[in-house]
Amino acid sequence: MTIITHATTPFDGQKPGTSGLRKKVRVFAQPGYAENFIQAVFDVVERAPGTTLVIGGDGRFHNRVVIASAIRMAAANGYARVLVGQGGILSTPAASHVIRKYGASGGLILSASHNPAGPDEDFGIKYNIANGGPAPEGVTDAIFARTRTIDRWLEEDAGAIDLDHIGTYRIGAMDVQVIDPVADYADLMESLFDFPAIRAAVDGGLRMIFDAMSAVTGPYGTEILERRLGFPAGTVRNGTPLEDFGGHHPDPNLVHAHELYEAMMAADAPDFGAASDGDGDRNLIIGRGRFITPSDSLAMLAANAHLAPAYAGGLKGIARSMPTSAAADRVAAALGIPSFETPTGWKFFGNLLDAGMVTICGEESAGTGSDHVREKDGLWAVLLWLNILAVRGISVDALAREHWARFGRNYYARHDYEAVDSAAANALIAELTAALPGLAGRSFGPLTVAVADSFTYEDPVDGSVSANQGLRILFEGGSRVVFRLSGTGTEGATLRVYLERYEPADGAIDAETPAMLADLIAAAETLAGISRHTGRTRPDVVT
Ligand code: G1P
Ligand code: ZN
């Protein structure tokens, strides 16, 4: 056992964002950059001596380098065991499950989610705590504080690290256990859902496309959908994980998964289409001829979840992030269960899930999940949809129409203005923040402001308060516009404008979204002066 102490000095800007530390690969590749951050994590996170650490990533460029380093560092920092996915692979939800299943004190997840990968693209490190979920703000703040004073990092003098062979070996006083990245997760899915019902539907002709976007979910989708559920070979497309995701942007939305969208809108479309992102926590759901927004998907899944064995006893509550549409709130009200509105980011759901206050959570950014892990989970959402469709024997379109006819429809879109000059974006937010107190009662076209505020969340479990979580302009009748700056970008600022219009069940529930949101789009421009501040006249991405 030889522990090497490397002297170091702090790097600027190692503050974890919405989902861990995200930077360009060339930033992470600076000598000591990843090591400083990982050492800061090891220095501050609570753990008993001799605990287990889980390590895995989405397989993107630079994954193996950082994993090898993290393993040598874990050995030098007193962990008794590291569980690492074969090849350094673990989808984010699989990592969350492995942390929980094996009683680890935490895990390092290496991913920049849906951001592109490669030498000139993005990389990220996130620390998850013993419940399997992203570290809460108290912990990420402590990690950041430590990165500012760090003066050394420790590593076991261990040489090359084998990630490719399943089995256990020792490094210093620590066991390294290389595990099958798929098996535990696939077993978990099989325990939650009615696989026999789905298999019967497949035998009866149910067909789907799952687009893994050349990212981490390929092997998971192939094992679960093709091997365990019997969908024909070829159901999983782009199923081989590539270090650069094939040069694509593995973000399952209508822009980046347009091939899937086109296939699902074609005359010969299969019944169901789905995709997941770089690290497997997001989902895209499209039925034949019918795209389901993530906010609607959350509501529709919640309304039908009792059809899956895991949720047959009913839901305890539903949580959504603030910018997510209020569709799920209406389901919660109908079910007589509580609903919660949290800031953006999965970490805010952890306490509610741990306290047993909610069962299902979701975000408008294509994230849905439940209390089975502490991350959003792309394949979980796909399987819950399949379970519901198999049991009910109806199409996605029919299910959506039935839902809107009962609850009304929350038309929804998000407009992203990317790589905006940071000073301009901050000025826009500052100006609008200053204007908030005077907005109530004012009209913008046909819309009258009911409430305008900057969203502050008080966690009902631990009482912690998170301020400045987005600017909300709520109009009379349930429509609204929300403005916030992304916390995951790696270049300049990304302005997100969230638009929502509610139509009651007896209103226009079968209209086209852009037309229904036109008044809100105009109001957003007037309210915030988007073009004046940013020079942009239209968004880069609409989802
Ligand atoms: C984005 C999404 C947010 C999600 C996060 C991590 O964060 O908006 O819902 O939790 O990615 O996947 P943002 O860039 O908006 O801070
Ligand atoms: Zn992701």
At 347, the pLDDT band (50, 70, 90 cuts) reads confident
How many of the other CB atoms lie within 10 Å of CB of 182? 22
Q: List the domain range (segments joined by +) for residue 72.
A: 3-180
Provide the b/e sequence for 304-328 (b: ≥16 CB within 10 Å). Answer: bbbbbebbeeebbbbbbbbbbbbbb
- Among protein residues, the one with the nearest Cα to ligand 1's atom 1 is 488
Each residue's pLDDT tens digit, 360-373: 999 999 999 999 99
CATH of the domain at 319: 3.40.120.10
CB 201 within 8 A of CB 390: yes
Report how far ligand 2's centroid is from the alpha carbon of 462 (Å): 26
Nearest listed ligand to the Cα of residue 361: 1
Residue with tokens 């390092």: 108
> What is the H or E stretch that residue 530 is in?
helix 530-534
Q: How many domains does the chain have?
A: 3
Structure tokens at 367: 């994230």
pLDDT at 225: 98
Please write down the long-range contacts of 197-204, taking CB distance under 8 Å and 24 or more positions apart: 197/387, 197/390, 197/391, 198/229, 198/383, 198/386, 198/387, 198/390, 199/229, 199/230, 200/390, 201/386, 201/389, 201/390, 201/393, 202/229, 202/230, 202/231, 203/230
Q: Which atom of ligand 1 is nearest to the CA of 496?
A: 15
Mark whether 12 and 81 lie in a shared domain. Answer: yes
Residues 249 and 137 in one domain: no
Q: Are residues 117 and 105 in the same domain?
A: yes
Q: What is the pLDDT of residue 221?
A: 98
534, 425 in Cβ contact below 8 A? Answer: yes
Average pLDDT over residues 147-166: 96
Place of tokens 């009662």: 441
363 lines ligand 1 (CB under 6 A): yes
Asked whether residue 402 falls in the same domain as residue 276, the answer is yes
The packing angle between helices 327-335 and 396-407, to 10°, is 70
Q: What is the mean pLDDT of residues 81-102?
A: 98
Q: Are 275 and 284 in contact (CB under 8 A)?
A: yes
The pair of three-digit structure tokens given for residue 286, joined into one six-digit string: 């499209």
Statement to judge: residues 243 and 158 lie in one domain? no
- Residue to substitute in 15, 19, 485, 491 for testing ligand 1 pocket (most ligand atoms within 8 angstroms of CB): 19
pLDDT of residue 137: 87
Smallest CA-to-CA distance from 296 within 513, 34, 68 is with 513
Tell which atom from ligand 1 comes closest to the C-alpha of 113. Answer: 12
Tell me what the mean pLDDT of segment 339-366 comes to: 96
Integer CA distances (angstroms), 200 to 52, 193, 196, 387, in order: 40, 13, 6, 11
The token pair at 402 is: 């039935």
d(CA 105, CA 85): 17
pLDDT digits (tens, 9 = 90+) for 112-141: 999 999 999 999 999 999 999 999 889 999
Can you tell me whether residue 411 is helix, strand or coil? strand
270 pLDDT more than 90: yes
Pocket test for ligand 1, best of 126, 365, 374, 485 (most atoms within 8 A of CB): 365
- Provide the CB-side half-sphere exposure for 314 (13 A, CA): 10
- Residue count (the chain): 543
For residue 277, the model assigns a pLDDT of: 97
DSSP-assigned letter for residue 134 = B
Q: Which of 130, 147, 180 is the last residue of a domain?
A: 180
Residues 384 and 415 in one domain: no
26, 27, 28, 30 alpha-carbon torsion, rounded to 10°: 90
> How far apart are the CA of 536 and the centre of ligand 1, in A?
22
Which residues touch 200 (CB under 8 Å, ≥6 apart)?
A: 390
Decide: 416 in ligand 1 pocket, CB within 6 A.
Answer: no
Q: Residue 423: give its domain's CATH number.
A: 3.30.310.50
Q: Which amino acid is at 55?
A: I
Predicted pLDDT at 234: 98
Q: Rounded to whole angstroms, how far apart are CA atoms 93 and 280? A: 7
Beta-bridge partners for 287 = 272, 290
Q: Which residues contact 40 (CB under 8 A, 6 or more apart)?
A: 14, 143, 144, 146, 147, 150
pLDDT per residue over 414-423, tens digit each? 999 999 999 9
Task: Based on the fold, state whether residues 236 and 97 are members of the same structural domain.
Answer: no
Both 334 and 257 in a single domain? yes
pLDDT at residue 381 greater than cutoff 80: yes
Task: Establish whether 69 is a catalytic residue.
Answer: no
Of the residues 148, 180, 212, the one at which a domain ends: 180
**362: enclosing H helix or E strand:** strand 360-363
Residues 351 and 384 in one domain: yes
Mean pLDDT of 9-29: 95
Predicted confidence (pLDDT) at residue 490 exceeds the cutoff of 80: no
Q: Is 541 in the pocket of ligand 1 (CB under 6 A)?
A: no
pLDDT at residue 394 tops 80? yes
Q: What is the pLDDT of residue 393?
A: 97
The answer to whether the beta carbons of residues 342 and 319 sit under 8 Å apart is yes
Residue 360 to residue 381: CA distance in whole angstroms: 11
Q: What is the pLDDT of residue 68?
A: 97
Q: Report the pLDDT value the prediction gives residue 169, as an integer from 0 to 100.
A: 97
Summarised one tens digit per residue, pLDDT across range 158-202 is: 988 999 999 999 999 999 999 999 999 999 999 999 999 999 999
What is the pTM (predicted TM-score) of this model? 0.96
* Residue 206 and residue 161 share a domain: no
Structural contact between residues 16 and 143, judged by C-beta atoms closer than 8 angstroms? yes
Task: Give pLDDT, residue 200.
Answer: 98
As a whole number, mean pLDDT of residues 515-527 equals 97
Half-sphere exposure of 318 (CA within 13 A, CB side): 32
Percent of the chain with pLDDT over 90: 96
242 pLDDT band, cuts 50/70/90, is very high
* Number of the ligand closest to the Cα of 377: 2
User: What is the per-residue burial (b if ≥16 Cβ within 10 Å, else e) of 477-513?
Assistant: ebbbbbbbbbbbbbebbbbbbbbbbbbeeeeebeeeb
487 pLDDT above the threshold of 90: no
- Same domain, yes or no, for 403 and 416? no
Question: Do both 394 and 436 map to the same domain?
Answer: no
% of residues, the chain, pLDDT over 70: 100
The residue out of 157, 180, 203 marking a domain boundary is 180
Question: Helices 63-76 and 33-44: crossing angle, nearest 10°?
Answer: 40
Q: What number of CA atoms fall less than 13 Å from residue 389's CA on the CB side?
A: 28
Give the pLDDT band (50/70/90) at residue 291: very high
Residue 430 reports pLDDT greater than 90: yes
Ligand nearest, relative to CA of residue 96? 2
Give me the pLDDT at residue 17, please: 87
What pLDDT is recorded for position 82? 98
**Is the CB of residue 486 below 6 angstroms from any atom belonging to ligand 1?**
yes
Mean pLDDT (the chain) is: 97
User: Which residues fall inside 5 Å of ion ligand 2, going by CB?
Assistant: 113, 277, 279, 281-282
The distance from CA 207 to its chain's CA centroid, rounded to whole angstroms, is: 26
347 or 103, higher pLDDT: 103
- C-alpha–C-alpha distance, residues 279 and 40, integer Å: 24
Q: Is the pLDDT of residue 275 over 80?
A: yes
Q: pLDDT value at position 325?
A: 98
Residue 281 Cα to ligand 2 midpoint, Å, equals 5
